[in-house]
């Protein structure tokens, strides 16, 4: 029990001679080093706060201003126009400014600091004004206006100094509140072709009544919120769309991310995990120190980095009415699940981050541990996969004190959760089903080997393949994608492995082994766990997931068609869905609003009048290619314009959602808003971001491709589709549906997507690769 003795810093014994203290020098040393590390982090945060707070200024620029002011005085030049003399008059005559010369120096320093701070404020406001310009997004490629060129030069000048991660946060503009008439007009335009004349007339009447009677009052409150809050959408979106949801997180909310699928670095499970965990904690350290470069659109326009703050040390805590996100400033361990047992693995030895080889050794110790699960322990995580109310009640009843509270704290206060699976999964191009099985394992596992409440679960399969299952409330997919790109690039190109597949270096065998978490789970709690497991298993068994790699072409051919790759795929999805279901439906495509402070997402309603016209012409089969090309280009241009409007704050759905929230607060009934917010999204789609950070040259290493990730269907009788245009020659698709729906079939729809892509490409008669 060496680890138990090291858990206390001192022991004492009462003897006739008095109290005999026995100190543990090793533990005291670790406590001392831990304190040093904590103070270092505090000092780094203070320093970063100062540097970030004066961006685009710097301490050096302050010194230049002071020197210019002092230097000018030697040539009898008063650049302050009398202000230095005025400040000097108000300085006290006692110490430390008892001489006129000292008082003059103080007054010049005060004046210089004031000028410097005013300059920073002016530059920040100018940058915010410049970043509010979005005309560049609506200009055709290669047709940049003179105004946009001048704008780009000004933005580059004001942001030329090397920024830290959060340097631009205060310079980002606020998300604007669209006008009600504009939003209502765009909404009606988005549904007109989906409704018959009678349905559309009814909706138009409701919309007109809402616009004239109810909306003005709601809009005033929303505008007031936009003035006061940093972002008028994000807090309500997080609370009402995510945290107040009472359905299981598994499948319904959480999503998954896949590993590199065409290359393999090692088959050793513990080694791959050692490198990955080390890379993640290295990323967290860079995040804490703000050393990560902000994501920049076109290398020029900064994206909001706010969501990254809660990437690590974050857990969703269940509640009866609403969940809360618990975020800690730091965590020195990860929680690990293997064969029904939970472990706590320390990431540091004193103040030093464990090396990959040490982490490999720790994970291998868990894999070699023969101890059986404690009663109720094996399926404990099913509580996080079932209903939120049941989990909240069980947490309050059975995990509020004693062993269970301490063990649960170890999980919820971990940096992240690690699942060591006994199964092997990978993508075999010769076996298409292997990719779908891999996706299913990441989406829900066996319903009790993922902790679905953690910000993310790192999943390690027996053959060294990795993946993520990510909780959605704290951030959107591009944020976890940024981390994952760093991890995969660091693992492949910076850390590496020995010839036998182990991490580089030698392990430290004296490290205390991982700590087994102790539970005391009564039979009543075990019954709740079993009930949650049955709910989760039924949900998991109902999910059909079809993942495939589309090989004939990628963005290389699409660009030859002179259209955006995203518009190309979205129109193909409309054609595939019409062929599959024989009708059009409301379609959701996620776009980002991160050009605004604390922006998250907006909906692009990608089933437009123009795309339906193209699809109908394609299905009729008697139109000339020239006419079809014209219809396709109109549909693509419309889609791109809708996407740009969504990104620039002129979307439809977030505005209507916030008006609905205000109406509920005020107790105002709106038939129009109630109907809009209840409309089902039977086709929910999302493009997966890639190459946000350049860890390697994709042209030099074309096989280093991830397959993206996916999510469950939003509607019971609908499809969920995510796709990643992974390179010049390939696209990965993840299609989900439910077996319980007689109207949907994920594999059938996937095959329709394949055919639709080929048919559209044939319109432009561009040669394609085989496959």
Q: 272-313: per-residue pLDDT in tens?
A: 999 999 999 999 999 999 999 999 988 899 999 999 999 999
Residue-level pLDDT at 314: 97
The domain over range 551-648+681-770 is classified in CATH as 3.90.280.10? no
Confidence of residue 9 (pLDDT cuts 50, 70, 90): very low
Confidence of residue 10 (pLDDT cuts 50, 70, 90): very low
**Per-residue pLDDT for 35 more than 80?**
no
- 621-679 pLDDT, tens digit per residue, is 888 889 999 999 999 999 999 999 999 999 999 999 999 999 999 999 999 999 999 99
Residue-level pLDDT at 34: 62
**Per-residue pLDDT for 503 more than 90?**
yes
Instruction: Determine which one of 472, 577, 655, 704 is catalytic.
Output: 472
Residue-level pLDDT at 7: 39
Average pLDDT over residues 82-96: 69
- 577-586 pLDDT, tens digit per residue, is 999 999 999 9
Q: Indicate if 551-648+681-770 has the same CATH topology as 241-544.
A: yes
Quick one: tokens of 738?
């439910």
What is the longest distance spanned by two Cα atoms in the chain? Answer: 105
Q: How far apart are CA 365 and CA 488, in angstroms?
A: 24
Q: How far apart are CA 487 and CA 694, in angstroms?
A: 12
Q: Count other C-beta atoms under 10 Å from residue 57's C-beta.
A: 19
CA–chain centroid gap for 169, Å, is 17
Q: What are the structural domain ranges in the chain?
A: 2-54, 59-132, 241-544, 551-648+681-770
Closest CA to 648 of 703, 604, 708: 604
Ranges 7-11, 308-312, 686-690: which has the least confidence: 7-11
Q: How far apart are CA 376 and CA 529, in angstroms?
A: 8
Quick one: tokens of 254?
């959480």
CATH class given for the domain over 241-544: alpha beta
Confidence of residue 771 (pLDDT cuts 50, 70, 90): very low
Q: Is the dihedral of CA 308, 48, 291, 271 positive or negative?
A: negative
Average pLDDT over residues 80-103: 69
Of residues 153 and 698, the one with the higher pLDDT is 153
Residue-level pLDDT at 741: 96
Q: How far apart are CA 740 and CA 444, in angstroms?
A: 17
620, 117 Cβ separation under 8 angstroms: no
Q: How far apart are CA 508 and CA 499, in angstroms?
A: 20
Round the average pLDDT of the chain to a whole number and report it. 90
Q: Count other C-beta atoms under 10 Å from residue 233's C-beta.
A: 28
Residue-level pLDDT at 114: 84
Q: Count other C-beta atoms under 10 Å from residue 7's C-beta.
A: 12
**Per-residue pLDDT for 434 more than 50?**
yes
Residue-level pLDDT at 272: 96
Strand 417-420, strand 333-338: pairing: parallel
DSSP label at 193? Answer: G
Q: How many residues does the chain have?
A: 771
270, 367 Cβ separation under 8 angstroms: yes
Strand 333-338, strand 324-327: pairing: unpaired
Question: Phi/psi of residue 732, each to 5°?
Answer: -105, 135
111, 69 Cβ separation under 8 angstroms: yes
205, 217 Cβ separation under 8 angstroms: no
704 is catalytic: no
Quick one: tokens of 49?
């706060």
Question: Phi/psi of residue 611, each to 5°?
Answer: -70, -35
Quick one: tokens of 448?
């009790």
Sheet of strand 587-592: strand arrangement:
543-550, 731-738, 719-724, 683-687, 587-592, 601-605
Angle at 631 between CA 630 and CA 635, to 5 degrees: 120
Closest CA to 232 of 680, 605, 602, 479: 602
Residue-level pLDDT at 106: 76
Q: How far apart are CA 551 and CA 430, in angstroms?
A: 13
Confidence of residue 249 (pLDDT cuts 50, 70, 90): very high
**Per-residue pLDDT for 191 more than 90?**
yes
Quick one: tokens of 187?
């909404």
Of residues 73 and 591, the one with the higher pLDDT is 591
**Per-residue pLDDT for 156 more than 80?**
yes
**Per-residue pLDDT for 327 more than 80?**
yes
Strand 341-346, strand 466-470: pairing: unpaired
Strand 543-550, strand 709-710: pairing: unpaired
CA–chain centroid gap for 769, Å, is 34
User: Residues near 285 by Cβ (< 8 Å), separated by ≥ 6?
Assistant: 353
**Per-residue pLDDT for 1 more than 50?**
no
Confidence of residue 3 (pLDDT cuts 50, 70, 90): very low
Average pLDDT over residues 416-445: 95
Beta bridge partners of residue 258, listed in sequence order? 467
Of residues 449 and 16, the one with the higher pLDDT is 449
Ranges 63-77, 454-468, 524-538, 601-615: which has the least confidence: 63-77
Residue-level pLDDT at 760: 95
Of residues 215 and 62, the one with the higher pLDDT is 215
Residue-level pLDDT at 17: 55
**Per-residue pLDDT for 5 more than 60?**
no
Quick one: tokens of 755?
């055919």
**Per-residue pLDDT for 6 more than 60?**
no
**Per-residue pLDDT for 383 more than 80?**
yes
Average pLDDT over residues 432-449: 96
Residue-level pLDDT at 12: 47
548, 708 Cβ separation under 8 angstroms: no
Strand 352-353, strand 255-258: pairing: unpaired
Q: How far apart are CA 50 and CA 46, in angstroms?
A: 6
């Amino acid at each position: 029990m060496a680890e138990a003795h090291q858990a206390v810093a001192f022991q004492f014994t009462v003897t006739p001679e008095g109290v005999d203290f026995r100190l543990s020098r090793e533990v005291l040393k670790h406590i001392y080093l831990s304190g040093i590390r904590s103070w270092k982090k505090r000092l780094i945060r203070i320093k970063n706060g100062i540097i970030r707070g004066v961006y685009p200024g710097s301490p050096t620029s302050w010194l230049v201003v002071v020197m210019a002011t002092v230097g000018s005085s030697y040539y009898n030049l008063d650049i302050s126009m009398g202000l230095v003399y005025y400040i000097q008059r108000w300085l006290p005559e006692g110490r430390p400014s008892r001489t006129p010369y000292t008082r003059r120096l103080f007054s010049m320093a005060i004046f210089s600091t004031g000028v410097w701070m005013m300059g920073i404020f002016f530059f920040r406001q100018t940058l915010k004004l410049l970043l509010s310009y979005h005309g560049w997004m609506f200009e055709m490629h290669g047709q940049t206006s003179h105004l946009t060129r001048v704008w780009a030069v000004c933005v580059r000048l004001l942001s030329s100094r090397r920024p830290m991660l959060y340097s631009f946060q205060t310079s980002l503009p606020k998300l604007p509140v669209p006008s009600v008439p504009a939003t209502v007009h765009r909404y009606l335009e988005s549904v007109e072709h989906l409704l018959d004349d009678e349905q559309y007339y009814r909706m138009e009447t409701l919309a007109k009544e809402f616009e004239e009677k109810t909306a003005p009052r709601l809009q005033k409150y929303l505008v007031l919120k936009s003035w006061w809050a940093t972002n008028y959408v994000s807090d309500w979106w997080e609370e009402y769309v995510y945290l107040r949801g009472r359905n299981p997180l598994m499948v319904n909310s959480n999503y998954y991310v896949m590993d590199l699928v065409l290359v393999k670095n090692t088959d050793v499970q513990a080694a791959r995990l050692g490198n990955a965990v080390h890379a993640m904690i290295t990323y967290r350290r860079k995040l804490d120190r703000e050393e990560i470069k902000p994501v920049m659109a076109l290398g020029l326009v900064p994206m909001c980095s706010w969501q990254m703050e809660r990437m690590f040390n974050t857990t969703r805590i269940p509640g009866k009415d609403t969940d809360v996100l618990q975020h800690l400033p730091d965590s020195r361990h990860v929680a690990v699940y293997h064969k029904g047992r939970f472990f706590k693995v320390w990431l540091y030895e004193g103040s030093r981050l464990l090396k990959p080889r040490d982490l490999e050794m720790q994970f291998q110790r868990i894999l070699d541990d023969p101890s059986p699960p404690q009663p109720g322990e094996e399926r404990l995580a099913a509580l996080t996969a079932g209903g939120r109310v049941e989990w909240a009640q069980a947490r309050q009843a059975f995990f509020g004190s004693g062993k269970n509270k301490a063990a649960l704290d170890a999980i919820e206060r971990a940096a992240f959760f690690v699942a060591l699976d006994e199964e092997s999964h990978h993508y075999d191009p010769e076996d298409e089903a292997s990719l779908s099985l891999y996706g299913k394992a990441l989406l829900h596992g066996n319903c009790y080997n993922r902790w679905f409440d953690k910000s993310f679960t790192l999943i390690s399969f027996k053959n060294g393949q990795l993946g993520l299952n990510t909780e959605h409330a704290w951030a959107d997919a591009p944020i976890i994608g940024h981390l994952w790109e760093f991890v995969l690039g660091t693992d492949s190109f910076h850390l590496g492995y020995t010839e036998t597949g182990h991490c580089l270096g030698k392990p430290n065998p004296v490290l205390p082994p991982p700590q087994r978490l102790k539970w005391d789970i009564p039979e009543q709690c075990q019954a709740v766990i079993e009930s949650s497991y049955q709910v989760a298993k039924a949900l998991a068994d109902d999910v059909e997931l079809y993942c495939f790699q589309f090989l004939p072409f990628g963005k290389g051919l699409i660009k030859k068609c002179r259209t955006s790759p995203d518009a190309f795929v979205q129109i193909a999805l409309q054609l595939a869905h019409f062929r599959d279901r024989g009708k059009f439906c409301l379609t959701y495509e996620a776009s980002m609003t991160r050009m605004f402070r604390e922006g998250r997402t907006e909906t692009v309603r990608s089933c437009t009048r123009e795309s339906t016209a193209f699809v109908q012409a394609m299905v009729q089969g008697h139109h000339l290619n020239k006419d079809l090309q014209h219809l396709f280009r109109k549909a693509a241009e419309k889609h791109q314009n809708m996407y740009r409007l969504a990104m620039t704050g002129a979307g439809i759905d977030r505005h209507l959602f916030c008006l609905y929230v205000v109406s509920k607060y005020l107790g105002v009934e709106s038939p129009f808003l109630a109907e809009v917010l209840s409309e089902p999204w039977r086709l929910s789609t999302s493009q997966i971001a890639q190459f946000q950070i350049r860890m390697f040259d994709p042209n030099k290493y074309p096989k280093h491709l991830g397959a993206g990730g996916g999510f469950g269907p939003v509607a019971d009788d609908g499809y969920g589709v995510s796709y990643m245009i992974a390179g010049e020659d390939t696209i990965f698709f993840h299609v989900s549906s439910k077996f319980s729906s007689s109207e949907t079939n994920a594999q059938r729809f996937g095959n329709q997507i394949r055919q639709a892509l080929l048919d559209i490409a044939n319109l432009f008669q561009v040669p394609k690769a085989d496959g």
